[in-house]
Amino acid sequence: MDIVEKLIGSKEVITLEGRIFHSVCLLVMIVLAVDIPFNFFIGLPDHAALMLAVSVAVLSIYYISRFYNKISLAIQIFQLLNLFVLIANYYHSSGTGGPINLTFILSFFLSVATVPRRQYWLWLPLNIFIMLGLLYAEYTWTGWLAGSYPTAESRVLNFGYTYLIAAALIFLVTMYIRRAYDEEREEVIQKARALKISNETQNKLLSILAHDLKEPLSSIQGYLELLNEYKPDDQEREHLEKELLNRTKDTSYLLTNVLSWTKNQMETVRVTLVPLVLQQTLIRTLKVLKSIANDKGIEFHNDIPDDICVTGDRDMLQLIIRNLVMNAIKFTHSGGEIVISTHIKADQCMIMVSDTGQGVPLNQQSELFSISAKSTFGTGREKGAGLGLVLCREFIELQGGTIGFSSEKDKGSIFFVTLPLCLQMSHASLF
């Protein structure tokens, strides 16, 4: 394949039309290399000498196009040579007494295969005009053609040989054009598929960004509205300012992490599986979520042991837990409770987010992890994008884990994800 690419040119440098033209030139030179000795063999030395001159001309045309990149000029010279050979073949092959019909078809086919479409109006009618002119000349002026074949055998051999050459050239050129077209089409399909995946990934990442920042920013807005609408005393103001500073730091930390991960994932979602100490991986994320839950009057408990290590992608795991806890906050009333805990079974760790919220209605449970699931308002009229659980499912599956839930209306829900335990605690990636 490297030799073929060097001969016809790579698709990064040479256009498809140029590569087809180079392929036609090479095939014509191969045919002429066989045609020259064959014409000597059947007793047509003049025709053999003519084909030798044509082969040199085709080689020169190919060289100009391939190595000087003068493809347009080379094609025009090739077409003029094509018409010249058509006339010469008609003369030396006894006109309609030889296999000129096959030569006509082959000449026209090579014009169609090599000429740019915008030049069809010139070369194709010219080819037809010359063919009709030759037929008219033979009919009108008898005796101007070269003598007939030396023997009847040579005439039959020339017919058979010309048919085989014409059929082989048409087949090879057509197959190359079809293969080149299929490759170009497949490349377009692959690019379209990659673009679609890239767009879907970017849409997901933008949804993640909006989903994860909406609540912290709303909380900051709430503190600012309190400071603006009321006149707290110095102690209350100091407390509010301290909480506002902490919330701003937490949100800044969250924004930095999400943006950093989003930038790294813009082309496609990549998974980096490493050992993770679960408590240390989630502690900063859970701190932000605890503040949001407390603002809504919800008790938040982190019961994850300090010594559990799982194998997963740190950023994806944080995103999953953020979404599950934010959903729990969204659908839990003030005075409720949310608990994040773990359960070890064999070589798997189940991370559970339990709440005492309103639960998932039975008619919504079957499509809860589907893109078709409709977003609903939370207990505080919170509105989501409806993508949180879809992302959780996709990202936990990319890590080789599972996700599920159990829920009872008005009694709460338990959402859980499972990840494999890491083999060696000493290799755990600290956060």
pLDDT digits (tens, 9 = 90+) for 391-416: 788 889 989 999 999 988 888 999 99
In a domain, 366, yes or no: yes
Q: Examine the pLDDT at 204 and tell me if it is beyond 80.
A: no
Same domain, 48 and 178: yes
pLDDT of the residue at 59:
94
Nearest by Cα to 213 from 318, 322, 291, 368: 322
In a domain, 167, yes or no: yes
HSE value, Cβ hemisphere, 13 Å, CA-based, for 215: 29
Comparison of pLDDT for 361 and 380, the residue scoring more: 361
For residues 62 and 22, give the distance between their C-alpha atoms in angstroms, rounded to a whole number. 6
Last residue of a domain, one of 194, 228, 252: 194
DSSP reduced 3-state for 93: coil
Q: Which pairing describes strands 348-355 and 337-345: parallel, antiparallel, or unpaired?
A: antiparallel
Name the amino acid, one letter, at 394: E
Token pair for residue 253?
A: 């930390």
Query: For the chain, how many structural domains are there in total?
Result: 2
Residue 142, domain extent: 2-194
In a domain, 55, yes or no: yes
In a domain, 344, yes or no: yes
In a domain, 262, yes or no: no
Token pair for residue 144?
A: 């101007």
Query: Residue 421's beta-bridge partner residues?
Result: 310
Same domain, 190 and 275: no
Last residue of a domain, one of 140, 163, 194: 194
Beta carbons within 8 Å of 354's beta carbon, 6+ residues apart:
328, 338, 339, 340, 341, 412, 413, 414
CA-to-CA separations, 47 to 130, 145, 153, 336, in angstroms, rounded? 20, 13, 17, 100
In a domain, 161, yes or no: yes
Nearest by Cα to 177 from 72, 21, 20, 24: 20
Q: Examine the pLDDT at 57 and tell me if it is beyond 70.
A: yes
For the ranges 20-34, 171-185, 353-367, the maximum mean pLDDT occurs at 20-34
For the residues 140-157, what does the mean pLDDT come to? 77
CA-to-CA separations, 211 to 14, 185, 229, 240, 365, in angstroms, rounded? 47, 38, 28, 25, 21
Same domain, 148 and 297: no
In a domain, 204, yes or no: no
Last residue of a domain, one of 194, 213, 233: 194
In a domain, 255, yes or no: no
For the residues 180-199, what does the mean pLDDT come to? 83
Burial of 205 (0-12, 13-18, 19+ CB in 10 A): buried
Same domain, 55 and 161: yes
Same domain, 328 and 426: yes
Q: Please provide residue 256's backbone torsions phi and psi, each rounded to the nearest 5 degrees.
A: -60, -45
The alpha carbon torsion through 14, 17, 18, 22 (nearest 10 deg) reads 130
Give the model confidence (pLDDT) of 74-111 as tens digits.
Answer: 999 999 999 998 888 888 777 888 888 888 888 888 88
Q: Please provide residue 230's backbone torsions phi and psi, each rounded to the nearest 5 degrees.
A: -115, 165
Q: 403 and 415 in contact (C-beta within 8 Å)?
A: yes
